[in-house]
Amino acid sequence: MSTSAQPQFRYTQTPSKVLHLRNLPWECIEEELVELCKPFGKIVNTKCNVGANRNQAFVEFSDLNQAINMVTYYASSSEPAQIRGKTVYIQYSNRHEIVNNKSPGDVPGNVLLVTIEGVEAGDVSIDVIHLVFSAFGFVHKIATFEKAAGFQALIQYSDVQTASTARDSLDGRSIPRYLLPSHVNECYLRISYSAHTDLNIKFQSHRSRDYTNPHLPVNPTAMDGLLQPVVGPDGKKKEFESNVLLASIENMQYAVTVDVLHTVFSAFGTVQKIAIFEKNGGTQALIQYPDIAIAAVAKEALEGHCIYDGGYCKLHLSYSRHTDLNVKAYSDKSRDYTIPISLAMQQTPAAGWQNPPGASAVGYTSSGMPQGHAQTSPVSSWFPAMPSGGHTFVSAPSTFPGQAYASSPSPAQPSPGVPQAIGTQPLHQPSQSPYYGS
């Protein structure tokens, strides 16, 4: 019997390059593990969120001595190892390597590979894709293509965390029906990680976009595709048309903000300006597009639809006589997206409005660019897995004015929110923080 001078070693396993960490905070992310462990050596592999409570993890060092250093350091340290203020207990794992069952598509990256099932390439516009994925953060670039697997898109975010939030929230979900052509019933998103980190987008076109580069040349023939659905097959005689739509909002039980309207109407193209006003006791809004064609598509697609499920905030659309709105660049009732944000902010500083990280093109008004969608908080504002019957479809980044969503469903009242078309499977669910969500 050997007598160990150090009692904490008496019961420990034989040393291993792999450490077992427990009592981790819920959903502890890999970066936090790495931050904790990397002072002691090179980390070659990790496995987090292990165990029934997802509060355990494994970290594999490249060298056994590095693992020993970490264990011995914390064995004698007066400061325990901590993540998010929780004491983390560290031992040698009883295995000597982390078996990584991760297929390549499960290795997190900032670029998502999205397969859109059940549609032809022409059924889902790049603007709709952009709208859907912008709910989680600033989308830098999108490239779409057709492969044997079907219609696919690469979505580039600035960082891995944003990408993984989007993946966790959208994988397996369907794009809301009212953003799709009427002949498409469902289209499920299958999302994995791409090995790419930076997409090489050469043109703004109907197949690809670079939202970080407003001066990228437009491929004119490629852009034609955007305008094709304008003319209906019925050949009906057109009424007076305008690039500005007048929206009357019926049964407005819940706040409809400029941001909400921007999100909804951006699905069809660049929204240049928005103005909200009261008329005859009802709420109306003017939405300005750069051209009649886009306005026509939006009008056709949104007429009679409700912004929120349950018949709330039903839209009735007509063409406005206006062609160019004269609105305040940034107020709670109006927005001019053609003015660079920095300028608009100077005119009317508003709380909580932030630029997307890395978005130097603050004045860029490309289709549907959700300029308020930056997520500056390390905590996602999207709650990924709430029960159905949730809240709003329209994206609600943390920078949105709070009251629009604060008034959203209290348990006692019917949920507004999910657009009718997506039924009980809301794509997007705003929440201040996933950690407060349940």
Partner DNA sequence: AGCACA
| Chain contacts with DNA (rule: CB under 7 A) | 11, 13, 18, 20, 22-23, 47, 50-51, 53, 55-56, 58, 89, 91-95, 97-99, 101
Bridge partners, residue 312, by sequence? 308
Q: At its nearest, how many Å lie between DNA and the CB of residue 22?
A: 5
When the beta carbons of 160 and 404 are compared against DNA, the nearer one is 160
Burial of 4 (0-12, 13-18, 19+ CB in 10 A): exposed
The contacts of residue 363 (CB under 8 Å, 6+ apart) are: 214, 338, 339, 340, 341, 343
From the centroid of its chain, how far is CA 420? 21
Q: At what angle do helices 258-265 and 292-302 cross, to 10 degrees?
A: 100
Q: At its nearest, how many Å lie between DNA and the CB of residue 74?
A: 11
When the beta carbons of 76 and 101 are compared against DNA, the nearer one is 101
CA distances from 51 to 94, 152, 341 (A): 15, 34, 46
- Residue 188 DSSP one-character state: B
Residue 332: Cβ within 10 Å count: 13
When the beta carbons of 98 and 274 are compared against DNA, the nearer one is 98
Q: At its nearest, how many Å lie between DNA and the CB of residue 359?
A: 34
Q: At its nearest, how many Å lie between DNA and the CB of residue 167?
A: 15
When the beta carbons of 22 and 196 are compared against DNA, the nearer one is 22
When the beta carbons of 58 and 289 are compared against DNA, the nearer one is 58
Gap between the Cα atoms of 323 and 263, Å rounded: 21
When the beta carbons of 50 and 222 are compared against DNA, the nearer one is 50
Gap between the Cα atoms of 200 and 210, Å rounded: 9
Q: At its nearest, how many Å lie between DNA and the CB of residue 42?
A: 17
Gap between the Cα atoms of 321 and 67, Å rounded: 72
Residue 66 in 3-state DSSP?
Answer: helix
**Tokens standing for residue 184:** 């498409």
Q: At its nearest, how many Å lie between DNA and the CB of residue 217?
A: 44
**Tokens standing for residue 288:** 């300005």
Q: At its nearest, how many Å lie between DNA and the CB of residue 106?
A: 9
Bridge partners, residue 244, by sequence? 288
When the beta carbons of 7 and 387 are compared against DNA, the nearer one is 7
